[in-house]
Amino acid sequence: MQPVQKISKMRKRKRRSHHALSPIRYVRCAQCGNAKLPHAACGNCGFVNQDLALAVEEKQS
């Protein structure tokens, strides 16, 4: 089955104007300076936020 009317290139491109990908924005880690995503833990050192502190006990062997 064929389309009823041809959709022009202009009309098609107007509809798809919001489909463009936005670049990923990175921020520097405050502790080690490595690039990381905002509002996420650092993949290098695990730093999240200086106000958020988790009590982690070390294993003694």
Query: Tokens at residue 32, please?
Result: 């080690």
Tens digit of pLDDT per residue, the chain (61 long)?
Answer: 888 999 999 999 999 999 999 999 999 998 889 999 998 888 888 888 877 655 667 887 7
Looking at residue 59, its pLDDT comes to 80
Residue 27 pairs in a beta bridge with 36
Q: Are 31 and 47 in contact (CB under 8 A)?
A: yes
User: Quick check: 47 and 30 in contact, CB under 8 A?
Assistant: yes
